[in-house]
Homo-oligomer: A and B are copies of this chain.
Amino acid sequence: MKPIRIGIAGIGNVGEEVAYQLINGFRVQNDLFPIELRGVSAKSKDKKRKVDLSAVPFFDDAVSMTASDDIDVIVELIGGDSGVAYDVCFSALNNKKALITANKALIAKSGKELAHLAELNDLFFSFEASVAGGIPILKLIREGLVVNKITKVTGILNGTANYILSEMELTNKTFDEVLTIAQEKGYAEADPAFDVDGIDAAHKTLILSALAYGKMPDIKSLSIKGIRNITINDIKNCNDLGYKIKLLGNSLLLDNEDGNKDLFCSVEPWLIPHNYGLANVSGVTNAVQIESSLAGPVMITGAGAGGEPTASAVLADIIDFANQAKSYPFGRKSVDIEDNFKSIGYRDNLKFYLRFTVLDKSGVLADLTSIFKNYDLSIESFIQKLNPSDKTADLIIVTHEANKLVLDKALNSIENIEGIIKEPVCLSIYL
């Protein structure tokens, strides 16, 4: 039987594990799919790795590897939505190679184009590892729930952010302290912006939207908020109120007045009731929850990142290629993916958690509540907590259901009150 010949571009954590598994063999019977590693490309040829790659042809230029006659499948594990990774992926398909990638940024930006190119050339193209690492969520939506109309996809999609929020609660340390620990443990990058500011989760949310609805809005139109302004006190207050704070990627279809459906798409921290499944997903674990027409709600949790889980997804794609799987990578023809449109960031009516840090002096509360009254916003609960160290107080307000646009106007006015000393924190409450 003709072997399936693999070339890996990028030998980091994930690439090393994929190479290791390919060379050492795994559960799938080798007599079914002889799979051979026939090329690697990496920054350093001679770096010490857990697997000996000296017998594997090494390409200094990853793009040139895509032209090798001895390779059937290019596995792109370089990352980034431009540069070498971009060139490798397009070049692979142009050179009539199957393409497997874990590159969420590239798929979020150019996935439709790549899918189109793969269709034109009748090539296998898959990116299971790009969302939620070891959780086979793309296959689940694309194949397992294939006949369902999906109306909502919500996920804890960034393990770093979830780890930081969990550790802040567990250890009573500040965001900055926990971030430093996460960086030491290898859970966070030296530049943590992608993870803690929600960009990484936004890429994954876009990919999930494309799979679920065939809709991939412009990332610039997404409402993306990270977790940098969340304090230990916020976490404690929310706990007392019966909620956990989780950074969620959220994407849902709602009927609009014209009888069509609008896509609401955002990444932001939410308050989730303690008894909800998502509230109990801690640490670096990822989770995705789907509302579907026939199967109903489905939720899956697992490892969102790391060499082994991500390699598991990459290798599953390789086996799918070997099995001649014929699904479209986004579950539909690329022409049926709507992109370059604006998504809407907020559902109109939600409850909100607000935290105002104020000088501990009289009058501030009266000013604040009078603005609430002017905007006809009503308050469900209110807590005032003194910060004795610096003579400030936190005012915690949970609103009744409110329109976000109205609330935003009120918050703008409130920011101008004398005595409000930090930008207010406003978190949506998950229904």
Enumerate chain A interface residues (CB-CB to B < 8 A).
17, 21, 26-29, 128, 133-136, 139-140, 143-149, 275, 277, 280, 292-303, 306, 308-309, 311-313, 315-316, 319-320, 323-327, 332-333, 336
Chain B residues in 8 Å Cβ range of A149? 26-27
Of the residues B147, B277, B319, B332, contact of A147 by C-beta under 8 Å:
B319
* Pairwise interchain contact A303-B296, C-beta atoms closer than 8 A: yes
Whole-angstrom distance between the Cβ of A145 and the nearest chain B Cβ: 7
Q: What's the nearest-Cβ distance from chain B to residue A47, in Å?
A: 22
Q: Is the CB of B147 within 8 A of A136?
A: no
On chain B, the residues within 8 Å of A147 by CB distance are: 21, 26-28, 312, 315-316, 319
List 16 additional contacts besides A133-B295, A143-B320, A296-B302; criterion CB under 8 Å.
Answer: A27-B149, A134-B294, A134-B298, A136-B143, A143-B319, A145-B316, A146-B315, A146-B316, A147-B315, A294-B311, A297-B303, A298-B303, A299-B300, A299-B302, A300-B301, A325-B326
CA distance A302 to B428 in the complex (A): 25
Q: In the complex, what residue of chain B is closest to A307 when comparing beta carbons?
A: B294
- Which listed residue (B144, B148, B300, B326) contacts A298, Cβ 8 A? B300
B residues in contact with A298, CB < 8 Å: 134-135, 300-303
Number of copies of this chain in the oligomer? Answer: 2
A297 B308 Cβ-Cβ under 8 A:
no
In the complex, which residues of chain B have a beta carbon less than 8 angstroms from the beta carbon of A140?
136, 139-140, 144
Is A323 within 8 A of B316, CB to CB? no
Nearest CB of chain B from residue A77's CB, rounded to whole Å: 15
**30 A-B contact pairs sorted by A residue (CB < 8 Å):** A21-B147, A26-B148, A27-B146, A27-B149, A29-B333, A134-B292, A134-B294, A134-B296, A136-B143, A139-B139, A140-B140, A140-B144, A143-B316, A144-B316, A145-B316, A147-B315, A147-B316, A147-B319, A275-B280, A277-B277, A280-B280, A293-B308, A294-B308, A294-B312, A297-B303, A298-B301, A298-B303, A300-B300, A323-B326, A323-B327
- Of B134, B135, B145, the residue contacting A136 (CB under 8 A) is B145
A128 vs B136: C-alpha distance in the bound complex, in angstroms? 16
- Decide if A303 touches B312 in the complex (CB within 8 Å): no
